[in-house]
Amino acid sequence: MAQAEIVVRRRSETGKGPVGRMRKAGRVPAVIYSHGGPAESLSVERRLIERVLDSGAHVIGVCYEDAEKPGALAPDAPGPLAARADNCPGAGSSGEAVTAAGGDDAGAPTKRALIREVQVDPVSQQVLHVDLQEVSEHESIVVKVPLVLRGEPVGLKEGGVMDRALHELEIECPADLVVDSITVDVSGLALGDSVHVEDLTLPEGTKAVSQGGLVVVSVRRPREVEEEEVAAAGTEVPEQPEVIGEKEREERGEPTEPPPRGSAGGS
Report whether pLDDT(24) > 50.
Answer: yes
For residue 189, give the 3-state DSSP assignment. coil
Give residue 134's pLDDT.
94
Give residue 65's pLDDT.
83
Give residue 135's pLDDT.
92
The percent of residues above 70 in pLDDT, for the chain, comes to: 66
Residue, of 19 and 225, whose pLDDT is higher: 19
Which residues lie below 8 Å from residue 267, measured CB to CB, with a gap of 6+?
none
Which residues lie below 8 Å from residue 187, measured CB to CB, with a gap of 6+?
150, 151, 152, 153, 154
Q: Give the angle 254-257-261 at the CA atoms, nearest 5°.
A: 120
Per-residue pLDDT tens for 133-170?
Answer: 999 888 999 999 999 999 999 999 999 999 999 999 99
Report whether pLDDT(195) > 90.
Answer: yes
Give the whole-angstrom CA distance, residue 52 versus residue 71. Answer: 19
What are the phi and psi torsion angles at 182 (to 5°)? -125, 130
DSSP output for 121-161: -TTT--EEEEEEEE--TT-EEEEEEEEEEES--GGGGGT-E
Per-residue pLDDT tens for 62-98?
Answer: 999 866 555 555 444 443 333 333 445 444 433 333 3
**Predicted confidence band of residue 32 (pLDDT cuts 50, 70, 90):** very high
Domains detected in the chain: 5-135 (2.40.240.10), 142-225 (2.170.120.20)
Report whether pLDDT(108) > 50.
Answer: no
Report whether pLDDT(186) > 90.
Answer: yes
pTM attached to this predicted model = 0.64
- How many other CB atoms are found less than 10 A from the CB of residue 64? 23
CA distances from 173 to 97, 133, 209, 246 (A): 27, 15, 10, 79
- How many other CB atoms are found less than 10 A from the CB of residue 57? 20
The percent of residues above 90 in pLDDT, for the chain, comes to: 53
- How many other CB atoms are found less than 10 A from the CB of residue 191? 17
Give residue 124's pLDDT.
92
